[in-house]
Structure 1
């Protein structure tokens, strides 16, 4: 029996993400939670002929029930980024939302694997970690920042350069999940053409949607990719399952960075192995040095938020 809870399931990311998770036959129960509209989303998805039983929960009073006994919790909840809105602007709104959800998860499913999509991921993952620490249930192997969209974009953009089919691409992207913290590991001929586009690909979507939202469908696809990989590792116990994901890590400890995205091997307990930062060329070393102060500030902001809320 595998229960997946999606928090923010009625939103622009949550609905298509829930659809994709429902399509995975390994999921036997899918709990959908949001402030409004989730019973309708659940009823709609329940008509799909895959094994997962779908239930919908809404409002503060039903959050605990949605999370009770969950094996995997996916958090896309929060407001989308609008034109002109920075990730700092997002932080002010989404930090409180993520903290509330993390508090309930720590109480109702402390052993669950937590996949954080809510932006800014560089800060929201430390928020979840600090909340779990306060409840005495923190396990760094079970809390993930979903950076898969950066890899999906990188694979797509490299494929579009005519270097082969997109499905054959597997670009490693390390660092964090915003702007200069995104460090794609590319070939020499791809660097100039794609580095900036991969780092700021989200802005393309925000601009194209002209105030109507941010990257929702591609993020849902990427989020489902990560959940499916986690299910393969945890439920089927497949070996060799790797994902680039933002986790508590020592790979950049020398620079004072506590969370970092690099290639992570997944296993039945979550993080099985954190791969070191791959060899960097001169261009990538510059990107790494530019990312470090931003990452440190993002992490500190998340930690400070939780500290200030409990002061």
Structure 2
């Protein structure tokens, strides 16, 4: 595969169609494909840009034509990453920032802040093991966000997301800057995995991209869609295979196996890497996909729907992952769960106590 072909593939992925279906390719063209000349100036800040997720995520955001300014921040190593990425001949200007003294500069004027900062999981480590380290990092970064870019959309990748999102909310509340429409837990990787595993089981293309030369446009129509609700750890991850498209007649055993694999996807990668890493590449891809959706929403592209862990009233919990409609203000609408199968209803009942505990743990940490 040539460099040109690789770039085309990656950029096509970042311009894929929204999860909601459309009967007209012209509508897809209007919603998703724009020349860089027609796009407004947008600054994206990546906090933790020198890490295992941060570096490939920075690369993918540099390829995104919706980004005009890419700000890369970490406690060390960022100047080199920024220099490397800056040589790529795409629209955005890249600047690297390092250390606490430069955090404000990195954040000032940001439209979207992506937070992959923190330590990764290692073999035998649960997401709870990550809590004390990553919770402190998130609390510090969100304090700076509240000061330097309080109106930015904040997309949280740092684990455990079920706790770090509530931590961020509490920090913003204390600073008087909290807007529930602008804080997201990135659960896109769960959706990406569910789509991939489902497509493999059904033996259907997971996605199909069709290039159209007119107006330099690219239309990517997703062949498979699986909503994933709940949270972003273990049994709190609940893929709704009963709502998957294309529809199927999977057995209860198949659905249980696909659900389990989706829930354990992170562990599968950690074990496969044998102590040398976690799900960094797939997470970077998922983070870039969600950031791309946020940017399109900010730019007024209609019908942008993604799953995300947000403040919600669709269950008894204050935060919950479900499909949300994105727009110029962030979350335009939190969509309901739809009709659940008996298996999914049971899964929902099982995840509520664990997710509630994780949320409360985050709130307690932020307020202690």
TM-score by length of 1: 0.96
**CA distances 1:113-165 after superposition (whole Å, capped 9, x unpaired):** 00000000000000111000000000000000000000000000011113411
Distance in 2 between the 1:293 and 1:192 partners? 20
> Could you say what secondary structure the match of 1:242 adopts?
strand
Distance in 2 between the 1:288 and 1:203 partners? 21
Distance in 1 between the 2:196 and 2:188 partners? 12
Aligned-residue offset at 1:26: 1.2
> Which residue is equivalent to 2:70?
30
Q: Does 1:234 align with 2:286?
A: no
> Which residue is equivalent to 1:288?
348
User: Relative contact order, CA 8 A, sep 6+: which one is greater?
Assistant: 2
Q: Does 1:279 align with 2:339?
A: yes
Aligned-residue offset at 1:86: 1.1
> Which residue is equivalent to 1:85?
125
Q: Does 1:196 align with 2:196?
A: no
> Which residue is equivalent to 1:100?
140
Q: Does 1:3 align with 2:43?
A: yes
> Could you say what secondary structure the match of 2:130 adopts?
helix
> Which residue is equivalent to 2:272?
208
Distance in 1 between the 2:92 and 2:240 partners? 38
**CA distances 1:158-182 after superposition (whole Å, capped 9, x unpaired):** 1111341111111010000000000
Distance in 1 between the 2:91 and 2:363 partners? 39
After TM superposition, the structure 1 = structure 2 runs for residues 1-311 of structure 1, keeping only pairs within 5 Å, are 1-167=41-207, 168-187=223-242, 188-189=250-251, 190-235=254-299, 237-253=300-316, 257-308=317-368
The alignment covers a number of residue pairs equal to 304
Distance in 1 between the 2:360 and 2:162 partners? 10
> Could you say what secondary structure the match of 1:166 adopts?
coil
**CA distances 1:181-234 after superposition (whole Å, capped 9, x unpaired):** 000111443412301000111000000111111100000000000011111111
> Could you say what secondary structure the match of 2:129 adopts?
helix
Distance in 1 between the 2:103 and 2:360 partners? 28
For structure 1, list consecutive stretches of 5 or more residues without a partner in the other structure.
Answer: none
TM-score by length of 2: 0.82
Segments of 4+ moved more than 2 angstroms: 187-190
Distance in 1 between the 2:66 and 2:226 partners? 27
Distance in 1 between the 2:201 and 2:126 partners? 29
Distance in 2 between the 1:54 and 1:38 partners? 11
For structure 2, list consecutive stretches of 5 or more residues without a partner in the other structure.
Answer: 1-40, 208-222, 243-249
Distance in 2 between the 1:122 and 1:294 partners? 10
